[in-house]
Amino acid sequence: MSIYNQPLNSDFCEFMAEKVRNSLYISIADILTSPLFQTITHENFYEVKPLFNYDSVVSDNPKDHTENHKTLILQKIPETMLSFTNNQPIIDYSEFVSEQTIDNIHYTLYYTYDSQTMEPAPYKKTSNGNTTDKNGYYLDSEIIEGENDDS
């Protein structure tokens, strides 16, 4: 059985649920349209269920109830901001570096990926200090000075 065909209560799924966490700063207005949340609208408040893992959440409205990780009770104030944070790295990632020179241009391709699932790890810092794109790639190039032939 592959890791992708296991039931949701499998050891692998429980491992991934603990490993993958998110950090997010979002308004209530955006929560209402986001696929990251399940929202139930009541007369005086929203009942919001985050569909991702996080360690803590803070609302800039002190009257919101954010103590329960499964369900948040939020007043109907669209501009209220919530900050979801995690206390551990989102993904342990590795880097693959490939170098090639073509026509006096030296190319270095950086690829970051999740070392557990082998999936791309987007927006990660590479060893040269740059950030990869949404697919986990960063391409660096440098013009190489050729030798002068004065013959």
Question: pLDDT tens, 35-64?
Answer: 999 999 999 999 999 988 788 899 999 999
Tell me the C-alpha distance between 117 and 37, whole Å: 25
CA dihedral 93→136→118→110, nearest 10 degrees, is -70
Res. 151 pLDDT band, cuts 50 70 90: very low
DSSP result, 118-145: --B--S-B-TTS-B--TTSEEEEEEEPP
- pLDDT at site 1: 46
